[in-house]
Structure 1
Amino acid sequence: MTDNPLLAQWNSPFGMPPFDEIEMQHFAPAFDAALAEAKANTDRIAANPDQPTFANTIAGMEFGETLIDRVSSVFYHLAGTQSDAAIEEMSRDLSPRLAAFYSDVLQDQALFARVDTLWEQRDRFDLAPEEARVLELYHRMFVRAGAALDEPGRKRLSQIMQRLAQLGTTFSQNLLADERDWSVALGEDDLAGLPDDLRETMKTEDGWALSLSRSVVVPFLESSTRRDLRETAWKAWTARGANGGATDNREVAAEILALRHERAQLLGYDDFASYKLDGEMAKTPDNVRDLLMGVWGPARTKAMADADRLRSLIAADGQNHDLAGWDWRFYAEKLRHIEHDFDVAALKPYFTLNGMIDAMFDVSARLFGLSFRKLDIPLPHPDAMAWEVLRGDAHVGVFIGDYFARPGKRSGAWCSRLRHQAGPVRPIVTNVCNFAKGNPALLTFDDARTLFHEMGHALHHLLSEATYPMVSGTSVARDFVELPSQLYEHWLSEPQILRQHARHYRTGEPIPQDLLDKLLAAETFGQGFSTVEYIASALVDLDFHTGEPPADPMAAQAETLARIGMPDAIPMRHATPHFAHIFSSDGYSAGYYSYMWSEVMDADAFAAFRETGDVFDPEMAAKLATHIYSAGGTRPPEELYTAFRGRMPGPEALMQGRGLTAG
């Protein structure tokens, strides 16, 4: 079917998908052909009469599914960035089908026998260190997929995985529908307090509209003087996925938790958290809980002290209401202005999207010697931009940025890849964000931090130097994967970067020194709030997956929050019905803690640069590239971090960085 661009040879620049030729009707036959090709390959490996070797078994599987990977990566990129009814229908059909296919492969007894033989006899083979690591991960993957179970166990596990795939897709689509379908029309009188750029973002043909895009809701809650409208926005934002009817996610979440527990017990684990953490850096639920609760106490104390100060501001305004969730961000901005003489509206004109893209590219050049050349090629959406990434004259990969919010685009920000790095094959990497579109697009400092965060993930892909896809790029332990992204955020705050790239969108003048000083002085402002909202979500996630699954997740959520003393005016960062991190897929399930686990390392890693006296120290940057960004999952994460730093870190740098230490 060479007339199907998904199945034809891609002769486009850098082997890019031909987005200008791909249409929805191409995907169904392309998936049919890709699945047939992948099945034929695994059947051929399983039936091979020769004794198993790494080359004829593991390498055969590693490089035998290129078509299914190619078709899937394009489809799921479009599903996340420009979903419509046709894409959603295909996603619902595909998710159980793909789950069944991978269950069949990973439970194939002849195939597992070859992998198991290689594992048991691994000392007889002269395997390179990366090959030994890949074999270990393959054996573990087969066992955790149920290959060692009896036939009834394998059958039930396959059913569970197919149902979980369906439920994850349903959860995501319900959440997207709630975000997409809610809006409130506003008139001139409803815009009191809003900065000009937010008004422009909310402009419609008939006036203005308040939507559930994060790039609209958060600044609205920070600046609107209309408390009634802040309440409306806050309640709609926190109720996503819990509005009753066809898009309600509460029963979906309950079924997911029950099936995950059954899955873990089939595989011999006490609960899903024990299953999920086996093989991660944290190892056990108790280790996760110790980290989270060690930070919870100081964070809650700071948040409660902040709450008292916000209540004082409410009283000073002549108001007699208590501090509610829709008041916190508004009065926190007032308090920030009082304590740091700091006005977010005065800062934003210096943070253009293009300026911050230049900043993150500049950091990549200083640390890793990379350059970025703008490309004019077909891309998945008119908003997207692409660059060839180079080191000297050598091609490193292609980087695509798709930065603006729009209907049909999943909320949040993420990094994915359209092609992974493997041996000489260089990656095609995408960053997706949901910034408000403008002329020019102006970012908050938090937006700029998100931009840098996702670029850190992209660099993990782009700098990868693995031989096998299994350990390429971000294919690492879940609680290690956020290290490169969170570490990269630190360079955004460096004065030399901000002085060069934070320039006023009209005058081109660099950010004034006094405003820069205020920005940096206020960096730990509000860390009580942000740490509490994050840890609460991480603890709810952990509790959901530890022990028996709750029949009523909302009641279980309430019990966890009551036990830890959650402040009334601070919501969870992600409440259960819209907690896509843990319910849209297994990705962060029993693993939302990993952001903080990685933060322990990223704070310590940046301290290593500071200790040299140069945050771009060439020797330290070379070690960072070699042992963190380029190594992927070729070695266990503890070994990689120790090779970079000389030791494993403690939480001290994290506590200091969040301003949670005494003094």
Structure 2
Amino acid sequence: MLARSASRALLQPARRISRLRQCTSPRIKTPSRRLATVAPTIPASTDDLELVALFDQPQGRSAFAGPSSTGIFQHSQLTTPASFTALADSTLVRAQLLTERIIRARDNRHELGKVVKNLDRLSDALCGVIDLAELVRNAHPDAEWVESANTSYEKLCEFMNVLNTHVGLYEVLRDVLYNPELSAALSPEARETALIFWRDFEKSAIALSPDKKERFVSLSSNILSVGRDFVNDSSSPRPPASIMASEIADLKDKGMGSRLRRQALFTQRELLVYPGSHQAHMIMRSAPSEEPRKKVYIASHTSTPEQVARLETLLRLRAELAQLVGRDSYSGMALSDKMAKSPENVKQFLDTSLERTGVSARRALHALSVRKQAHLNASTLPIIQAWDRDFYCPPEPRLPPVALPPLTLGRTIMALSRLFKHMYGISLRHVKVEPGEVWHSDVHKLEVVDEDHGVIGWIYADLFARPGKAPGAAHYTVRCSRRTDDDDESGDLTFDGADNFLRLSRDFEAAKRHRIRGREGEYQLPLVVLLCDFSPPTAARGATTIDWPDIMTFYHEMGHAMHSMIGRTEYHNVAGTRCATDFVELPSILMEHFLTSPRVLSLFETDGSSIANQTANHHEDPCHHIDDHTNVLLSILDQNYHSTAVLDPKFDSTSVLANLQNSRGLIPHVAGTSFQTQFGHLFGYGATYYSYLFDRTIASQVWRRVFVQDPLNRETGEKYKRDVLSFGGGKDPWLMLSTLLNAPELETGDAAAMREVGEWRLASDDVMPERH
């Protein structure tokens, strides 16, 4: 999922995407399908089989010759750490000159017609280096490269922050948007790009008086500082729970239980169990006695007064910032450019979702209560407490829907290439990297090849763990798509002796430009990097096998990657994943749904005979419904915390949490606990935490209504590519969704549409079998 700030900056770098971790309405019309004409599975190609060998055989790993004239991503300007700094300096001066050109456009009507394009060029020039620096500082193993990337990143971001509050740029854009003739001449995509800039200027207090603008800068700085401290609080260790040896005498886990009891007896004192430790998880799942589970739960959800105060300070600062720019609440400010549009619309979605998920969740809770009654031999149904959940319904790992052989990394990537071939006529093809093109020998380069248009972008796969590399999975958009043949660089301002200095930036830009077969114009082709931490293949161990949850994560990230590849737009600011926060996860979550289909899973095998004919089993932890309901509740809490209520001197975040849990939740709040200080997403996703649940719901509906009957149908895949992916953020998501689902009632994206989505079921509520 997206790891990003809650609000979008005017000249915002493309977002790093990482994983966080569904629905039918009778009014939605199902697109017509001819179910009797299911096409045969396309066999694995030579390129597909090469992917298996490349990622599964140790000898298939690419050679690495270190620095050379090739440069990172074949940019000849980037061969050394010092060259990165030089590129940043050249880009900064070029951006300053382009900024001056845009400002002077007020004196020239012809230039006013180029303002939106030039603003997008300015954004792309800065983001092209910033996004590359973001990757290098997170992935490069060389400390000098990392230091150079950090310096470049900070230098260009500082200038970008200046542009976000640049009155001259704001006034020029206003002249364009408020001129009927110029505004009418904008294409729909150009107009959407202009409105993105306009809204971002508005959020940056551009129209405020100097004293209020100074207050805006001060508040923004304080929010960033307090927010970082809050995030650190959210993951900081909690004090241990003191557990008596007698309290874990009947622990179900005899091995660990015996060791814990011996440890307590040996030390002759209570055992200290730290929240988040293996011992804590084991006690919560395996201790029949309620007391140790209660102690561990309370210890895990306790906060210091300072931690609570820090969160409440963050919430008040955000509320003050919103009111300074004319919004009632921070939620109102954050949602103005989202699908939801307003807090009231989010409330419609969440209230409906809470009611819908509550039915299944209460049924699951009743089952837990019956288990607890039997365990306690009680005469009446007992109340399920917060510390009972994992004991009476231990979390189960997600499993594939059919029996599968061990799945290797190579076969996983092959299956993705074959899936994209069926859906879009697009495949993945390995291409040899040049010396110095990548930052480590583990990095492989994949061409994304369209059967009609040839190469449409590149994915660099850095998939193996190594010392110093961050864990987990992430998607970096290093380069966005945009049209470049109409850039009009000849009109850019310059100065005497500038040619040599600006050549670095110009050559860097020129290397990105390509002609696409069968398409008019010249385009900057997208480039993304996937980072994972799989174990590399070895001669002794063989190919890397992947657990099912990791395969789902990989499909999720590849959903983002294909959005970047297919989102072929003329403007950088609306390319691929540069779309609304509450829409961006739809393509990636939808990819997970394809893994529920035996036909899709058959693509892991070259013939598919042992998988395709199996019947999918729907096995699910019934307590997952409780978790869905809890996520809706947390989304409501996020909205409450970012409402005007936080400005009340009597505001108490713990009381708000307790009242919400006790009035609308399933499990009562535990006195003395304050989970909210561990809810780290309140900073990064402030007022938009509902987004992931929202996209899960939409993805589930799209899967059911569009793909489930024949997920490999090319006609259906082309429709999804044409109606959704190709637009990136250049079209209203509600219009895309209403077209895809043939649901005109969704077009306006109003409160009724949000309520409609809230009535849809999540994937956990039912799974429709494939029909062949």
**Same fold (TM > 0.5):** yes
> Taking structure 1 as reference, are residues 89 and 380 closer, same or farther at Cα in structure 2, changes over 3 Å only?
closer
Task: State whether residues 171 and 249 of structure 1, in contact with CA within 8 Å, keep that contact through their aligned partners in structure 2.
Answer: yes
> Taking structure 1 as reference, are residues 614 and 509 closer, same or farther at Cα in structure 2, changes over 3 Å only?
closer
Task: State whether residues 408 and 545 of structure 2, in contact with CA within 8 Å, keep that contact through their aligned partners in structure 1.
Answer: yes
Q: What residue in structure 2 maps to residue 297 of structure 1?
A: 355
- The Cα offsets for residues 258-299 of structure 1, whole Å up to 9 and x where unpaired, read as 222122111111001111222322122122122112222342
User: Which shifted more, 347-356 or 524-533?
Assistant: 347-356
Higher CA-based Rg:
2
Q: What residue in structure 2 maps to residue 455 of structure 1?
A: 558
Q: What is the Cα deviation at residue 418 of structure 1?
A: 0.8
Task: State whether residues 92 and 126 of structure 2, in contact with CA within 8 Å, keep that contact through their aligned partners in structure 1.
Answer: yes
Q: What residue in structure 1 maps to residue 626 of structure 2?
A: 529
Please tell me the root mean square deviation across aligned C-alpha atoms, in Å.
Answer: 5.0
Q: Find out whether 1:282 has 2:340 as its counterpart.
A: yes
- 1:72-83 aligned at under 5 Å gives the runs 72-78=130-136
Q: What residue in structure 1 maps to residue 192 of structure 2?
A: 133
Q: What residue in structure 1 maps to residue 324 of structure 2?
A: 266
> Taking structure 1 as reference, are residues 398 and 91 closer, same or farther at Cα in structure 2, changes over 3 Å only?
closer
- The Cα offsets for residues 86-124 of structure 1, whole Å up to 9 and x where unpaired, read as 999999999987665334213222222111100100434
Q: What residue in structure 2 maps to residue 427 of structure 1?
A: 526
Q: What residue in structure 2 maps to residue 593 of structure 1?
A: 690
- Residues in 1 aligned to 2:399 and 2:564: alpha-carbon distance in whole angstroms: 37
Q: What is the Cα deviation at residue 131 of structure 1?
A: 1.8
Structure showing the higher helix proportion among its residues: 1
Sequence identity, in percent? 21
Q: What residue in structure 2 maps to residue 471 of structure 1?
A: 574
Task: State whether residues 481 and 575 of structure 2, in contact with CA within 8 Å, keep that contact through their aligned partners in structure 1.
Answer: yes
- Residues in 2 aligned to 1:249 and 1:441: alpha-carbon distance in whole angstroms: 42
Task: State whether residues 193 and 223 of structure 1, in contact with CA within 8 Å, keep that contact through their aligned partners in structure 2.
Answer: no
> Taking structure 1 as reference, are residues 610 and 369 closer, same or farther at Cα in structure 2, changes over 3 Å only?
closer
- Structure 1 residue matching 2:122: 3-state secondary structure: coil
- What is the one-letter code of the residue matched to 2:457? G
Q: What residue in structure 2 maps to residue 182 of structure 1?
A: none
> Taking structure 1 as reference, are residues 62 and 658 closer, same or farther at Cα in structure 2, changes over 3 Å only?
same
Task: State whether residues 418 and 430 of structure 1, in contact with CA within 8 Å, keep that contact through their aligned partners in structure 2.
Answer: yes
- Residues in 1 aligned to 2:171 and 2:665: alpha-carbon distance in whole angstroms: 51
Task: State whether residues 261 and 545 of structure 1, in contact with CA within 8 Å, keep that contact through their aligned partners in structure 2.
Answer: yes
Q: What is the Cα deviation at residue 129 of structure 1?
A: 2.4
User: Which shifted more, 527-536 or 630-639?
Assistant: 527-536
Task: State whether residues 99 and 165 of structure 1, in contact with CA within 8 Å, keep that contact through their aligned partners in structure 2.
Answer: no
- What is the one-letter code of the residue matched to 1:429? V
Task: State whether residues 344 and 444 of structure 1, in contact with CA within 8 Å, keep that contact through their aligned partners in structure 2.
Answer: no
- The Cα offsets for residues 177-211 of structure 1, whole Å up to 9 and x where unpaired, read as 769xxxxxxxxxx99699xxxxxxxxxxxxxxx99
Q: What is the Cα deviation at residue 225 of structure 1?
A: 5.2
> Taking structure 1 as reference, are residues 32 and 231 closer, same or farther at Cα in structure 2, changes over 3 Å only?
farther
Q: Find out whether 1:364 has 2:420 as its counterpart.
A: yes
- Residues in 1 aligned to 2:681 and 2:644: alpha-carbon distance in whole angstroms: 20
Q: What residue in structure 2 maps to residue 38 of structure 1?
A: 95
Q: What residue in structure 2 maps to residue 183 of structure 1?
A: none
Q: Find out whether 1:150 has 2:209 as its counterpart.
A: yes
> Taking structure 1 as reference, are residues 129 and 68 closer, same or farther at Cα in structure 2, changes over 3 Å only?
closer
- Structure 2 residue matching 1:389: 3-state secondary structure: strand
- Residues in 1 aligned to 2:553 and 2:669: alpha-carbon distance in whole angstroms: 25
- The Cα offsets for residues 468-519 of structure 1, whole Å up to 9 and x where unpaired, read as 111111122222222222222221111112244289xxxx9956977x64xx
For residue 313 of structure 2, the aligned residue among 247, 250, 255 is 255
- 1:551-562 aligned at under 5 Å gives the runs 553-562=653-662
Task: State whether residues 95 and 169 of structure 1, in contact with CA within 8 Å, keep that contact through their aligned partners in structure 2.
Answer: no
Q: What is the Cα deviation at residue 333 of structure 1?
A: 5.1
- Residues in 1 aligned to 2:189 and 2:653: alpha-carbon distance in whole angstroms: 42
User: Which shifted more, 536-545 or 40-49?
Assistant: 40-49
Q: Find out whether 1:389 has 2:448 as its counterpart.
A: yes
Task: State whether residues 582 and 589 of structure 1, in contact with CA within 8 Å, keep that contact through their aligned partners in structure 2.
Answer: yes
For residue 476 of structure 2, the aligned residue among 403, 410, 416 is 416
- What is the one-letter code of the residue matched to 2:642? H
- Residues in 1 aligned to 2:669 and 2:71: alpha-carbon distance in whole angstroms: 56
- Structure 2 residue matching 1:430: 3-state secondary structure: strand
Task: State whether residues 404 and 611 of structure 2, in contact with CA within 8 Å, keep that contact through their aligned partners in structure 1.
Answer: no
Task: State whether residues 92 and 166 of structure 1, in contact with CA within 8 Å, keep that contact through their aligned partners in structure 2.
Answer: no
Q: What residue in structure 2 maps to residue 484 of structure 1?
A: 587
Q: What is the Cα deviation at residue 562 of structure 1?
A: 3.1
For residue 51 of structure 1, the aligned residue among 108, 119, 135 is 108
Structure 1 length normalisation: TM-score? 0.75
- Residues in 1 aligned to 2:694 and 2:150: alpha-carbon distance in whole angstroms: 33
- Residues in 2 aligned to 1:413 and 1:301: alpha-carbon distance in whole angstroms: 34
- Residues in 1 aligned to 2:529 and 2:417: alpha-carbon distance in whole angstroms: 15
User: Which shifted more, 170-179 or 559-568?
Assistant: 170-179
- What is the one-letter code of the residue matched to 2:128? R
> Taking structure 1 as reference, are residues 193 and 119 closer, same or farther at Cα in structure 2, changes over 3 Å only?
farther
- Structure 1 residue matching 2:393: 3-state secondary structure: helix
User: Which shifted more, 574-583 or 276-285?
Assistant: 574-583
- The Cα offsets for residues 215-260 of structure 1, whole Å up to 9 and x where unpaired, read as x9899769975789x9699869966xx8779xx8655533332222
Task: State whether residues 371 and 392 of structure 2, in contact with CA within 8 Å, keep that contact through their aligned partners in structure 1.
Answer: yes
Equivalenced residues, count: 603
Q: What is the Cα deviation at residue 126 of structure 1?
A: 2.4
Where do 5+ consecutive residues of structure 1 fail to align? 1-7, 180-189, 195-209
- What is the one-letter code of the residue matched to 2:528? V
- Structure 2 residue matching 1:147: 3-state secondary structure: coil
For residue 332 of structure 1, the aligned residue among 390, 393, 403 is 393
- 1:619-638 aligned at under 5 Å gives the runs 619-638=715-734
- The Cα offsets for residues 611-631 of structure 1, whole Å up to 9 and x where unpaired, read as 8x4223322221211121111
Q: What is the Cα deviation at residue 521 of structure 1?
A: 1.5
> Taking structure 1 as reference, are residues 156 and 609 closer, same or farther at Cα in structure 2, changes over 3 Å only?
same
For residue 102 of structure 1, the aligned residue among 147, 160, 166 is 160
- What is the one-letter code of the residue matched to 2:641? F
Task: State whether residues 461 and 473 of structure 1, in contact with CA within 8 Å, keep that contact through their aligned partners in structure 2.
Answer: yes
Q: What is the Cα deviation at residue 156 of structure 1?
A: 2.1
Q: What residue in structure 2 maps to residue 567 of structure 1?
A: 667
- Residues in 1 aligned to 2:707 and 2:172: alpha-carbon distance in whole angstroms: 49
Q: Find out whether 1:501 has 2:604 as its counterpart.
A: yes
Q: What is the Cα deviation at residue 589 of structure 1?
A: 2.2
For residue 639 of structure 1, the aligned residue among 715, 735, 742 is 735
> Taking structure 1 as reference, are residues 224 and 32 closer, same or farther at Cα in structure 2, changes over 3 Å only?
farther
- Residues in 2 aligned to 1:77 and 1:630: alpha-carbon distance in whole angstroms: 25
Q: What residue in structure 1 maps to residue 42 of structure 2?
A: none
